Amino acid sequence: MPVNLRNTKKIRQENRLKIECQKVSQQQTHKGQIVKLAETLHESHEIPSTSLMANVALQNAHISEDEAALYDRQIRLWGLEAQQRGMRGLSNEICKNLVLAGIGTITIIDHNVVTEEDLGAQFFVTEGDIGKNANVSADRIRQLNPRVVVIADNSDIRTKPDDFFKVFDLVCLTDCDPDTVIRINEICRNFDKKFYAACTYGFYGYIFCDLKQHEYIVERKIAMPHKDEHEITKLKKHDEYVSFQHVLSKTDWTEISDRKLKKISPLLWAIQILWKFQQEVGRLPVTNDNLDVEKLLSLRNPYLQTININNLLVTDELLIALASFALTELTPICAILGGVLAQDILNVLSKKGVPINNLFVFDGFQGNGYIYHVEQGKHIV
């Protein structure tokens, strides 16, 4: 996702989920963060995957009272994605939040046409749009905020030359296969572009972040003796990131103590096994396809042995559930992941707050999200 952003003031959070979420409580540890995100989940929709890509350039600018009123209802700013599939619910959330936040320019890349299955999760298309391309969504996205330039590109992101990504400040892929993520991530690293990738699998999902080198400011409130107000201190931080390929190559899990291993959600490894399936088969598992389930289960033991993880940590039940939901999209899960990612992008572009470093996985059944630093030679939690 390439994006050009004009300055947006702090935007109030306002979730538009089709579920009732309790207040987000966030517990942070030094390396891992557990985010309690949602209690109740409703409505399951099975839909085809989507593709989209956007790009944002952030510039300083003052906004008028009218603009402030327009952006006041928004939560976050987003990057967009490129994928093998048509525009999906996660893409919808990204575009909606980006445009309503007031970015300068957003480029949507989607080479697919609207299908009947898209109508379940897409709120930018109607039945009359079946058979049409990304221009349909772009026209309705523009209506959200006429101040934003929305560009629709109907070509396949996988055919784009490396130089295409030079003009973007930030690229975010959604619902892409691992090989596409690896390639575009490496291109972004070569051009020093910030990179995100994300996908949902029914009740599950992930966000990957690679900022290469990133400096940011952390603000802390310090209580003043005998005073009601607090003093705010600003601390400059610097983080280094690794590529998606590097994350896939981590094998030194035995260096983590058993106590810390118990803190790691098995979903982290289950999703990586799902990526292995995509790389070998060339697609996600099909719901209720026993052969696909057997194939996914067959990949577990060899992969976990390679990375020195006990096979019992990733159960058959988890992999079967992941396979069953791989092509399913839940609106609430898209909204939650979209919110987390959008807020992170806003923090990164404004260089404020601690960004995801480097992998966030979400388990909708547990109502928990986990942030792990997955890197060879580094402690994950």
Residue 218: pLDDT over 80: yes
Q: Which range has the worst mean pLDDT, 1-5, 79-83, 127-131, 278-282? A: 79-83
- 141 found inside a domain: yes
CA distances from 108 to 122, 168, 341 (A): 15, 12, 17
Return the pLDDT at 131. 80
In contact, 207 and 336? CB cutoff 8 Å: no
Percent of the chain with pLDDT over 90: 39
Q: Give the mean model confidence (pLDDT) for residues 44-68.
A: 40
Tell me which amino acid residue 160 is.
Answer: K
Instruction: Measure the CA angle with vertex 43, ends 117 and 19; round to 5°.
Output: 130
Question: Is the dihedral angle over the CA atoms 204, 132, 54, 17 positive or is it negative?
Answer: negative
Distance (Å, whole) CA 167 – CA 109: 14
Lowest-pLDDT range, 18-32, 105-119, 156-170, 358-372? 18-32
Which residue range is the domain that position 121 belongs to?
3-9+44-210+331-338
- State how far the Cα of 349 lies from the Cα of 312, in Å rounded to an integer: 41
Helices then strands, each counted (H, E), the chain: 10, 14
Give yes or no for a contact between 204 and 271, defined as CB atoms under 8 angstroms apart.
yes
Specify the number of domains making up the chain: 1
* SS3 of residue 291 by DSSP: helix
Domain assignment present for residue 88? The answer is yes
What is the rounded distance in angstroms from the CA atom of residue 253 to the CA atom of residue 310?
Answer: 10
Q: Could you tell me if residue 233 is inside a domain?
A: no
| pLDDT (tens digit per residue) in 117-153 | 777 667 777 788 888 776 788 888 888 899 988 888 8
Query: How long, in residues, is the chain?
Result: 381
Report the C-alpha dihedral over residues 360, 362, 368, 370, rounded to 10 degrees.
-20
Tokens at 276, concatenated: 């292995």
282: left (phi over 0), alpha (psi -120 to 50) or beta: left
Rounded Cα gap, residues 42 and 36, in angstroms: 17
Q: What is the CATH number of the domain that holds 56?
A: 3.40.50.720
Q: What is the DSSP string of 8-58?
A: ----------SS--PPPEEEE-SS-EEEE--S-----EE---------B--
Q: Is residue 144 part of a domain?
A: yes
Give the residue among 245, 257, 260 at the shortest CA–CA distance from 358.
Answer: 245
The answer to the question of residue 282 being in a domain is no
- Return the residue matching tokens 């979209």: 338
Whole-number Å distance between alpha carbons of 150 and 146: 9
Question: Residue 215 forms beta bridges with which residues?
Answer: 238
Instruction: Examine residue 114 and state whether it is found in any structural domain, yes or no.
Output: yes
Q: Tell me the per-residue pLDDT of 299-337, one tens digit each, with 9 for 90 and over.
A: 999 999 998 888 899 999 999 999 999 998 888 999 899
Q: Report if residue 173 sits inside a domain.
A: yes
